[in-house]
């Protein structure tokens, strides 16, 4: 199986890279399970996906109101979604259960949810520090621990984690964010070795990508040495560039494990 028919779970799927990846993979025949905190965003992405491949009338569907997740949609043939906060282990487990209940299996987990506050450590609030670690690091670990038994049982699977070039070209103001992303990079390599011959592990490092992630960053949060908001907007590239990289990794034969991909704007310094 390449992309067509695969069941792909994506966190942070309501916007940016996650949404672009979901739509690209759906266009190539994958079945998608979308997670994120904003139900309206997930619903919009699901509607676009099901509209593309099974007709707009299937985009709706019943909201089954999962107790722990606050909402999920299992209406369309090729896409389901559930409100998911990756800081909550139970939410991540519930998202994976949704994939299995709805489609009978899960082939790929794209752990893509992420948050960043660009500022020197001493000016970050405790909440901002916790959030960057809880979402970017612990949220990914929750995905790994929940999905690994499923992949073992199925005899295969694929972890894709969205990390960052922040962890490759390390600059002031991104200490906690880059640290959390690099922790995921480290975990990915050990996971690759532990997972054995049938489970693939891919860490994708986007550079500056034009999403809400970049768009919402206030100029005054950029410390010296970090590109300003305006500079970021100028060089940032479309989220579809990262989506294509993720699709490339998933599309490889089962015995080909693409472990690291870096996708930067050519103009990024």
Instruction: Summarize as ranges the residues that interact with ligand NAP (CB under 6 A).
Output: 11-12, 14-18, 36-38, 41, 84-87, 112-116, 135, 162, 164, 206, 208-209, 211-214, 239
Residue ranges of alpha helices (H) inside 54-106 are 89-103
Catalytic annotation, pick one of 142, 159, 177, 229: 177
Among residues 185, 176, 189, 240, the alpha carbon closest in space to that of 210 is found at: 240
Quick one: 108 or 196, whose CB is closer to ligand NAP?
Answer: 108
CB of 168 to ligand NAP, least distance (A): 10
Count CB atoms within 10 A of the CB of residue 84. 34
Q: Which one, 92 or 258, has the nearer CB to ligand NAP?
A: 92
Q: Give the residue among 84, 85, 77 at the shortest CA–CA distance from 102.
A: 77
- In the bound complex, what is the minimum distance in angstroms from residue 66's beta carbon to ligand NAP? 15
- Residue with Cβ nearer ligand NAP (7 or 135): 135
Kindly give the residue spans of alpha helices, DSSP state H, lying in 33-155. 39-53, 89-103, 126-133, 139-154
Minimum distance between the CB of residue 51 and ligand NAP, rounded to whole angstroms?
20
**Partners of 9 in the β-ladder:** 33, 109
Q: Cα dist. 169→165, 174, 181, 206, 268 in Å?
A: 6, 10, 12, 12, 11
Q: Is 177 a catalytic residue?
A: yes
CA distance 142 to 135: 10
Question: Which positions ≥6 away from 15 have C-beta within 8 Å?
Answer: 36, 38, 41, 211, 212
Q: How far is the CB of 5 from ligand NAP (least distance, A)?
A: 25
Least distance in Å: CB of 143 to ligand NAP?
A: 11
Considering the complex, state which of residue 47 and residue 209 has its C-beta at the smaller distance from ligand NAP: 209
The DSSP bridge pattern shows strands 31-36 and 199-206 to be unpaired
Tell me if 185 sits within 8 A of 165, measured CB to CB.
no
Q: Which is nearer to ligand NAP, 125 or 196 (CB)?
A: 125
What distance in Å separates the CA atoms of residue 13 and residue 37, rounded to the nearest whole number? 9
Active-site residue list: 177
């Amino acid at each position: 199986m390449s992309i067509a028919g695969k069941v792909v779970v994506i966190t942070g799927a309501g916007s940016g890279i996650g949404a672009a990846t979901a739509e690209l993979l759906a266009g190539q025949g994958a079945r998608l399970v979308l997670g994120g905190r904003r139900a309206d965003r997930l619903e919009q992405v699901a509607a676009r996906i099901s509209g593309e491949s099974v007709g707009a009338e299937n985009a709706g569907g019943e909201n089954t109101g999962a107790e722990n997740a606050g909402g999920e949609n299992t209406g369309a043939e090729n896409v389901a979604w559930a409100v998911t906060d990756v800081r909550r282990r139970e939410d991540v487990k519930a998202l994976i259960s949704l994939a299995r209940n709805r489609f009978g299996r899960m082939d790929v987990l794209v752990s893509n949810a992420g948050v960043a506050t660009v500022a020197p450590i001493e000016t970050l609030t405790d909440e901002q520090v916790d959030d960057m670690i809880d979402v970017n690091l612990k949220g990914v670990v929750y995905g790994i621990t929940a999905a690994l038994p499923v992949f073992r049982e199925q005899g295969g699977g694929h972890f894709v984690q969205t990390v960052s070039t922040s962890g490759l070209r390390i600059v002031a103001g991104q200490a906690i964010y880059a640290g959390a992303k690099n922790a995921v990079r480290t975990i990915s390599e050990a996971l690759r070795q532990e997972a054995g011959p049938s489970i693939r592990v891919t860490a994708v490092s986007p550079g500056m990508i034009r999403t809400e992630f970049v768009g919402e960053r206030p100029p005054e949060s950029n410390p010296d040495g970090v590109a300003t908001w305006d500079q970021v907007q100028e060089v940032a590239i479309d989220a579809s560039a990262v989506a294509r990289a993720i699709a490339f990794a998933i599309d490889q034969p089962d015995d080909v494990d693409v472990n690291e991909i870096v996708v930067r704007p050519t103009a990024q310094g």
